[in-house]
Structure 1
Amino acid sequence: MRNVHGHTLHALGEAIVAGRHPVGSSIPPEPQLCEAFGVSRTVVREAIKSLVAKGMLSTGPKVGTRVLPAEQWNWFDPDLVAWQSKAGLSKEFLRDLQELRRVVEPAAVRLAAERATAADIAAIEDAYAGMKQAIEEGGDYVTHDLRFHQGLLRACRNRMMVQMSKAIGALLRTSFEISTSKPDGTRESLPLHRAVLDAVIARQPAKAEKAILVLIDGAAEDIDLVLASRRRLPSLAAPPVSLRAPAPVKAGRRVKA
């Protein structure tokens, strides 16, 4: 549950991302913000300080507090990604996300295939088992999917990559939420995840890199299909969507192989 500072920060951050305070404009003065949010000047100042740290605002004498261009915002910040999700995910945002994955994950997986410890592999196996269980019995697939990919980034044993795994978590969740909304998308992607994990276990960097690229490109296709369908995109402000348990097969019904 958010405190007063959190509510003020999110309300102001969402307003900026939604364009209610355009780039280059000054946000309302402190007294006006205090009245609008029903909070003290201290709370408003702390919220503004947080938004400055996220690269969204700049402050200075005589110029006030102004909204900076989106190119300067910290897009690795989970709050910012959630605000963009609520305001509406653009094709440009999703394109940037897919390009980031294509740059970062294949290199990380190659290193993971060379450096992963037994504990790393056990953690990724556990995440995979959670994904499989969610498909077969219903449950939170997205959280386990996120753990799987963050586990691969950690397994590369590069301190900067490990930090990046924390930073891009919200970005990855955006992709996974959209892919999950495609009918049978999770069931189709599960063996692709297995291929990545098996290559890492077998210490085959080239094979692992190829497998993760197949997975990433498949996710990009899923996102394109969802966008083309004009279905409502999931919001990161809500908990991950849980998969429903499959309907039991009736006696005598023939199951497709």
Structure 2
Amino acid sequence: MIKNVHGNTVDRIGSDIVAGRYAPGASIPPEPLLCEELGVSRTVVRESIKSLIAKGLVTSGPKVGTRVQPPDQWNWFDADVIVWQTQAGLSADFLRDLQDLRRVVEPAAVALAAQRATAEDIADMEDAYAGMKRAIEFGGDYITPDLRFHQGLIRSSHNRMLVQMSRALGALLRTSFEISTTRKNGPAGSLPLHRAVLDAVIARDPAAAEKAVLVLIDGARHDIETVLASRKKIPRISRPATQLKAFPL
């Protein structure tokens, strides 16, 4: 999606903050300097600062200017914040926090899905699963159908708060899937685990669904810990999604 001047300005300042150009507690440059540096009007700068305040990156007040907030105040459910963090580089703590969050949210959501999923929900997840399987067998985009599968599970809980969270979790989940996909044969190994989750939902067995998704999440955690232990540079999130090579099942 092509962003307008406002979106590009938010991107530029936000990514600079997340990358550490402006330290927590420091003031960002005043409006005239930002206008000159970014080549935009004062109106665009002011609206962009409002957007960054809403994302928790900065605060603004009389006589103190616009100051950078510490990372624990940032909105980590904001897709832009996640993208800026992945561009700046992913930390081990960030990835571990993400896995902890998945372990808290997804099992409960999947247990509800096993009780509440409609025929339409199940058909959508079957289609997402088929997309993952095609990517493994013939090559192509595995990440997009994988994300669609997991968000479908959460939506199938038919809990409005969890569904809202699934939208916010999208960028976070994609981060995890991109890292896991770097493991040799990782997607092929996780495919039957996804099948077990979906089968338990179809069977209306909440306990089995919760158990199956925990196995899947813990497998992703193991993949990420293996990447971290290798001391290799943590991969940056690619755009578009990583394309798999064919892997005959």
Fold-level match, TM-score > 0.5?
yes
Letter in 2 for 1:245: A
Aligned to 1:254: none
Residue 135 of structure 1 aligns with which residue?
136
Residue number in structure 2 paired with 1:233 = 234
Alpha-carbon separation, structure 2, partners of 1:167 and 1:104:
12
The residue number in structure 2 matching 1:188 is 189
- The equivalent of 2:32 in structure 1 is 31
Instruction: Give the match for residue 64 of structure 1.
Output: 65
> Counterpart of 1:99?
100
SS in 2 for 1:168: helix
Q: Corresponding residue for 2:167?
A: 166
Matched with 2:16 is 15
**Partners in 1 of 2:29 and 2:110 — Cα distance?**
47
Q: Would the aligned equivalents of 2:90 and 2:236 in 1 still touch at CA under 8 Å?
A: no
Query: Which has the larger displacement, 23-32 or 221-230?
Result: 221-230
Distance (Å, rounded) in 2 between the aligned partners of 1:211 and 1:124: 15
Whole-angstrom CA distance in 1 between matches of 2:48 and 2:62: 18
Using the alignment, how far apart are the partners of 1:76 and 1:110 within structure 2? 23
Q: CA deviation at 1:237?
A: 6.0
Equivalent position SS for 2:234:
coil
- Percent identity (aligned): 69
**CA-CA distance at 1:236 after TM superposition:** 3.5
2:244 & 2:144 partners in 1: Cα distance? 11
Q: What per-residue deviation string (whole Å, max 9, x for no partner) do you get for residues 12-71 of structure 1?
A: 111111111111111100111111111111111111111000011111111111111111
The normalised TM-score by structure 1 is 0.94
Structure showing greater Rg? 1
Q: How far is the alpha carbon of 1:246 from its aligned partner?
A: 4.2
- What letter matches 1:96 in structure 2? D
- Give the whole-Å Cα distance in 1 for the aligned partners of 2:48 and 2:235: 26
Call closer, same or farther: CA 1:45–1:237 in 2, change over 3 Å: farther
Q: How many residues align?
A: 248
Q: TM (normalized to structure 2)?
A: 0.96
Aligned residue in 2 for 1:5: 6
Question: CA 1:140/1:237 → structure 2, altered by over 3 Å: closer, same or farther?
Answer: closer
Matches within 5 A, 1:201-240: 201-236=202-237, 238-240=239-241
Q: Is the 8 A contact 1:21 1:27 kept in 2?
A: yes
Question: Please, which runs of 5 or more residues in structure 1 have no aligned partner?
Answer: 248-256
Q: Secondary structure at the match of 2:143?
A: helix
Q: Which amino acid aligns with 1:214?
A: V
Match of 1:118 in 2: 119
Q: Higher mean Cα deviation, 161-170 or 229-238?
A: 229-238
Gaps of 5+ in 2: none
